[in-house]
Structure 1
């Protein structure tokens, strides 16, 4: 009996390396297998199909981001820390950032939903945000998400190069605009596709 050499983890690591270099545009079993130097057989032994591999990969990356990247403290304010970490992730791993957050074939709604859950759980741990309603939390998420994603994309392309203090000021303006407004439930509505 042959001993299994390529585990689920090996395949996920190869898939990660592939999308970190090329995004999801060439995310095929053949390309993942080539990254590993094997046939496609181990992939289909571990995963039902390529969509199963893709969903597993996205979940794995999001788990890593929430545990090791987005939770790093900088300022003591969890909302600002998440925001800074998101921008820094985009700067350190621009191709992975674009694949996960900007590529229409990428993480899409999974990344959006998981990012919102992490955002909500994290900021509710902070005294100044713990009494916010669900609508305010959603509005804060949308305001910071849209602002930060735009800022990260502009920074990746070197259109703007703000300092950390300038980034914090931009975040603060977005947060204050929501917190100081008479927020109405339909301000953002359901902005997801």
Structure 2
């Protein structure tokens, strides 16, 4: 009987398992082939080189692990940080690697919708909403790195509190809230985003 053909998807799943179980340092064409129980030939047939496979793996991890369907702004941050905690090896592979010139730090499939949501709810210009959202992304990225590298452990409650507190700081800055009452007004206006 002919052997079943090994698909690109099979190879990417196996590569993600290798990283998850043994870390990025264990990732090689041989280790992926061993995970699949095959020779290295199907991997080279599908991808051509280990570099091409790794680039496809970056896309696979983003599409498989970082596509969130959230109901609030804070939930995106919580899901991102849960990924850092739950899949620390994959997080490190994805975010603690050398970037190609011009490659974005964080990919956010919902970037435009999120900026529009912030601008509308907070009566901000799109430019201000973009700046605020980028600051929140950088904060989450920093926390994610600390969590994934074991520098800091955070419970779900601590993550929730941290995101709410940082959102409050950003809101005070970008809305130029001069008093606690003004800040609380804008917090109430955006409760659907941060609760």
- 1:37-58 per-residue CA deviation (whole Å, 9 max, x = no partner) reads 2110010111121122112121
Q: 1:179 aligns with which of 159, 169, 174?
A: 174
Q: 2:88 aligns with which of 88, 94, 106?
A: 94
> What is the SS of the residue equivalent to 1:161?
coil
Change (3 A) 1:5 1:165: closer
Q: 2:142 aligns with which of 150, 167, 171?
A: 150
Q: 1:124 aligns with which of 110, 116, 122?
A: 116
**Count of residue correspondences:** 172
* 2:153 counterpart of 1:167: no
Provide the TM-score with structure 1 as the length reference.
0.71
Which has the larger share of helix? 2
Between structure 1 and structure 2, the one with the greater Rg is: 2
Residue correspondence of structure 1 range 108-119 to structure 2 within 5 A: 112=105, 114-115=107-108, 117-119=109-111
Say which structure, 1 or 2, has more relative contact order (CA 8 Å, 6+ apart): 2
Provide the TM-score with structure 2 as the length reference.
0.70
Residue correspondence of structure 1 range 1-193 to structure 2 within 5 A: 2-67=2-67, 70-73=68-71, 77=72, 79-101=73-95, 103-104=96-97, 112=105, 114-115=107-108, 117-125=109-117, 127-128=120-121, 132-133=125-126, 135-156=127-148, 157=150, 159-161=152-154, 163=157, 164-177=159-172, 179-180=174-175
- 1:94-122 per-residue CA deviation (whole Å, 9 max, x = no partner) reads 22222212x2258997563523x433334
- Gaps (5+ residues) in structure 2? 177-195
Looking at structure 2, the residues matched to 17 and 106 of structure 1 have their Cα atoms a distance apart, in angstroms, of 23
- Gaps (5+ residues) in structure 1? 182-193
